[in-house]
Structure 1
């Protein structure tokens, strides 16, 4: 099932949100895999708005990781050309070039991560691929549409030592990219201890990328799709027992089964939207993450939704899941069934405007959701992440 067109609801993108600037409305109009003729006409009308700032649009498209998707739309629908409906997009090579460059970059990532899958499998290690290529190949049906930063894998804690041996043999080091961009420097002992005691992920494994478009290859191992301080747990070993075999990056692999996959996307979105580390890096609210959830949600059948609600209730993760689905529904009305939202809605919604709880520094946003979503200058009331990365 595809996302419903905004024109099916008799509205232009962002009308239901109120007060969005022209560049934000245009960005929302592009946020779908397929465009109808009405969608294209609406995009041309939005692009012809004399108050539209193309500079703001380009900055927002890059920040929200939407440039590759926009580039394909510009190319496929000839939006770079003048028509009777309006002038063509300026600087089309920026958008189309971003799509083509992302295709090349993601192919290099696929070649590398395919080798990682093969070596993990040969060592008898069960794993499941989260987000990234599982979405690019399985949901978007075009890996070039998503900018993939790293390889996220679910792995049982008891398999971590064996996976460490595999990744070390492949040239990976648990560390950060050195200032010269040519080496990976191991993390400090304090950083290693903090991550081991407080987070559900291993410290990232990296090795130099050796390409202008790939600073490093990054493998992120996760043992639980919820953070320790969330009070909710879904251990990787249990999720792997239900994982589905597939082929990704041309290599046999596994992905979480549909209920766990949607649960993982919701937990991931909530973590990054409310954690100080991601807020400081301006990676907390990105339209691309909400689009991921919306596309998977729109393709979820009633039976899977029922099983999803039961699993959420069993885990006690209603607040985390509702956060993700609520804001996804705001941006993409119709992607999440109303009955599901009603069933998962907590009695107290005050937490929807809070952040920093996972850091032990709960604060409240001064701006509303849609205002801060498109406001790159939003602030965080002076709170600072305590997650060490040195």
Structure 2
């Protein structure tokens, strides 16, 4: 497998050029429709995605209104708001839920609002929504930065259930660093998705939250075991920077305040490894610190589980064999953690 050829083709596609090799199958596998020409996109899947996004936001209209009425600071993150900012199209990027960012101190009031609006904390089964038990609820909030998901049944056969994830931090659950969430949620602005007005983070804070989320996906042993490393993570970062003129001084100051510089640097660094675009250089320069490169060639979110990569970045991205790689290098404790997460998450 010629990984260098893959990278060259992806760079050509990002510039609007047509490579000699058909990359459709790989890009669909990596959920990178943004790089596909209109005639090669799965138009049926695009239409279904648009219908589902519309249904999700309709289901949350009363929730957002109640948050406003009760002065609960919130922001919608990832999903359609990210797609709008990164790709200029709320429906370009496929997603399966709505993600909210809330202060921990407001979670009880927010939960009651969600329940009043017809949501249930549970999972979808063949029998419908099954509420989580107390153990599962406690595990979710203690082991991650999220509460257990909220689910609502709809009357739409295309999107029969709406899933809302409530995030209480922009860092992941295992992180030693916890974000100053009042600071984060002071930086919001109004937006509109599918005709619904809502709150989102300002671009610099939204970009930091995006990078922290994608750093987690690119370093979590559990997520890498389950899903592998996806090109879509780096497409989001690249096109966000390409299509938004961020204030790099404000970005640097916010990163420093949140102790996020090295994690954001990691994401932009590997984004540049893929796209090799000069527009990323000023961002890398602004974010660089004495410790910027310490995270670059290792994986694992906790210090005790961090291990060096023994394969190249391109191989991690394109080989599709990370599970086999991990079977050789993970400890019994790591494998047990994956098993527990699979059972309870």
Give the TM-score of the pair, scaled to structure 1.
0.75
- How many Å apart are 1:164 and its aligned residue? 0.8
Rate the CA distance shift 1:209–1:327 in 2: closer, same or farther, 3 A: farther
Structure 2: 5+ residue runs without aligned partners?
none
Which region of structure 1 is more displaced relative to structure 2, 212-221 or 250-259?
A: 212-221
Q: Does 1:20 align with 2:8?
A: no
Rounded to whole Å, the distance in 2 between the matches of 1:326 and 1:209 is 42
Partner of 2:21: 46
Q: Does 1:373 align with 2:317?
A: yes
1:351 aligns with 2:295: yes
Q: Does 1:116 align with 2:63?
A: yes
Q: 2:252 aligns with which of 309, 331, 338?
A: 309
Q: Name the CA distance, whole Å, in 2 between partners of 1:183 and 1:296.
A: 37
Aligned-CA RMSD value: 2.9
Residues 152-163 of structure 1 mapped to structure 2, 5 A cutoff: 152-163=99-110
Could you tell me whether the CA contact under 8 Å between 1:294 and 1:335 is conserved in 2? no
Shift of 1:300: 4.3
Partner Cα separation in structure 2 for residue 209 and residue 20 of structure 1: 44
Match of 2:276 among 308, 333, 349: 333
- In structure 2, the residue matched to 1:293 is 237
Point out where structure 1 has 5 or more consecutive residues left out of the alignment: 1-17, 48-53, 76-91
5 Å-filtered alignment, 1:14-93, equals 19-20=2-3, 26=9, 29-31=12-14, 35=16, 39=17, 42-43=18-19, 45-47=20-22, 57-58=24-25, 60-67=26-33, 69=34, 73-75=37-39
- Radius of gyration: which is bigger? 1
Aligned length: 333
Instruction: Say if 1:239 and 1:306 are closer, same or farther in 2 by CA, change over 3 A.
Output: same
Matches within 5 A, 1:1-390: 19-20=2-3, 26=9, 29-31=12-14, 35=16, 39=17, 42-43=18-19, 45-47=20-22, 57-58=24-25, 60-67=26-33, 69=34, 73-75=37-39, 95-178=42-125, 180=126, 182-208=127-153, 213-214=158-159, 216-282=161-227, 285-301=229-245, 304-334=247-277, 336-347=279-290, 349-358=293-302, 360-379=304-323, 380=326, 381-382=329-330, 383-384=334-335, 385=338, 386-387=340-341, 389=344
State the SS of the aligned residue for 2:276: coil
